[in-house]
Amino acid sequence: MNLVDVDVPGARYPIRIAPGRLDHLNEAVPADATTIGLVTNPTVAALYGDRAERALAATGRRVVRIELPDGEAHKDLETLNRIFDTLLSSGFDRRSVLVALGGGVIGDMTGFAAAVYMRGIRFVQVPTTLLAQVDSSVGGKTGVNHPLGKNMIGAFHQPVAVEIDTDVLATLPPREVSAGLAEVIKYGMILDEPFWAWCEDHAAQLRALDPETLGHAIRVSCELKAQVVAKDERESGLRAILNLGHTFGHAIESGLGYGQWLHGEAVGCGMVQAAELSAEVVGFPHADVERVRKLVAAIGCPTTAPDLGVERWLALMRVDKKAEGGEIRFVMTPRIGHAITGGAPEDAVRRVLARTVG
């Protein structure tokens, strides 16, 4: 089993990565838990709901299954309230534990529900998409969307454990694999040039879900993210570099309507745009812009951004959480393996949009 330790102020928890973890979820439930809420969606429930429920029932605790409608379009306050309805009508108390079985949407919503139910209860992440395994399940960011912006309502709330079963990726649609790989290569681009080069050499095996290759990629990704989060849980500085590609990516998701592009696809495309902007503003080599475009394409993500109209693009990026006092903030890379945050002149952003929008 691969084990990654996350150590942030006030919380410490393990990420366990291995085939078959789904059958051992009972090991993640704290001994003093009263009741367990298994939050999932119909798609994941049909594949893995019964196995997860059986493993949790081995704790001897009552397990209540809560199925939320599938997809980013339902990541809102209204759906969140359905979780509260069930928790309250089922008598969940302050020592109850939630288990998030699903992708990023389920993880973010379950984590946020846990953050604010009775002002905070514990939860376990069981991410079933590659994206969630390498990104959203690590770091304690939880929340829901608002019609005017993604993840605008949320909290920092760390899980008590993250259980990654690499077997479940076998049932993942290829688009979701590509979306997850976008976040994997992102860690190389901002933090680890050798890992980036390794991804370039193994793009085909990664897409083909070769177990050994994938296991390595997930462990390194979780380690890199855990290191960043440990140094900066609240995203006051360093952690912001994890948002490489996200200012552009969020605009794509919000502009097209959530759910049209997968989050990882938008981030992949956004990384190409961030690379172009880095070339404009911080001297990122043009040859490396092409390396980024090539690897994003090689993992199966789009490299041409949707045409939302330039003014709408700018407006969507201005509402991003990273904007401060009206200035749009970006993560940029002076060279592969390094990242900085900063503002960018509007004309540079306009040139990037002109070059990257299809």
User: Torsion-angle region of residue 325: left (phi > 0), alpha (psi -120 to 50) or beta?
Assistant: left
Residue 294 in the binding site for a copy of itself (CB under 8 A): no
The question of whether 225 is a catalytic residue gets the answer yes
17 has binding-site annotation: no
Q: Which of 212, 311, 324, 347 binds a copy of itself (CB under 8 A)?
A: 324
- 343 by Cβ neighbours in 10 Å (0-12 / 13-18 / 19+) ranks as middle
108 has binding-site annotation: yes
Cα separation, 255 vs 249, in Å, equals 10
Cα separation, 308 vs 310, in Å, equals 7
Residue 319 in the binding site for a copy of itself (CB under 8 A): yes
Cα separation, 229 vs 9, in Å, equals 10
Q: Which of 155, 297, 314, 357 binds a copy of itself (CB under 8 A)?
A: 155
Residue 89 in the binding site for a copy of itself (CB under 8 A): yes
Residue 225 in the binding site for a copy of itself (CB under 8 A): no
Residue 323 in the binding site for a copy of itself (CB under 8 A): yes
The question of whether 81 is a catalytic residue gets the answer no
Residue 77 in the binding site for a copy of itself (CB under 8 A): yes
Looking at this protein, which amino acid is placed at residue 163? E
Residue 314 in the binding site for a copy of itself (CB under 8 A): no
Residue 343 in the binding site for a copy of itself (CB under 8 A): no
183 has binding-site annotation: yes
Choosing from 53, 67, 233, 235, the catalytic residue is 235
Which is nearest to 98 in space by CA: 17, 84, 89?
A: 84
| Helix H or strand E segment including 182 | helix 174-191
Cα separation, 273 vs 296, in Å, equals 11
- What's the closest the beta carbon of residue 146 comes to a copy of itself, in angstroms? 6
Q: Helix 346-356 vs helix 263-281: angle between axes, to the nearest 10 degrees?
A: 130
Residue 321 in the binding site for a copy of itself (CB under 8 A): yes
The question of whether 250 is a catalytic residue gets the answer yes
| Helix H or strand E segment including 36 | strand 35-40
The question of whether 157 is a catalytic residue gets the answer no
Q: Which of 120, 173, 194, 237 binds a copy of itself (CB under 8 A)?
A: 120
212 has binding-site annotation: no
In contact, 269 and 296? CB cutoff 8 Å? yes
Residue 12 in the binding site for a copy of itself (CB under 8 A): no
The residue count for binding a copy of itself (CB under 8 A) is: 39
Q: Which residues of 42-65 are buried (b: 16+ CB within 10 A; e: fewer)?
A: ebbbebbbebbbebbeebebebbb
Please state the residue numbers annotated as binding site for NAD(+): 70-75, 104-108, 128-129, 141, 150
* Catalytic residue annotation: 119, 141, 183, 225, 235, 239, 243, 246, 250, 263
Interaction site with a copy of itself (CB under 8 A): 34, 77, 80-81, 84-85, 88-89, 91, 93-95, 112, 115-120, 141, 143, 146, 148-149, 151-156, 234-235, 318-319, 321, 323-326
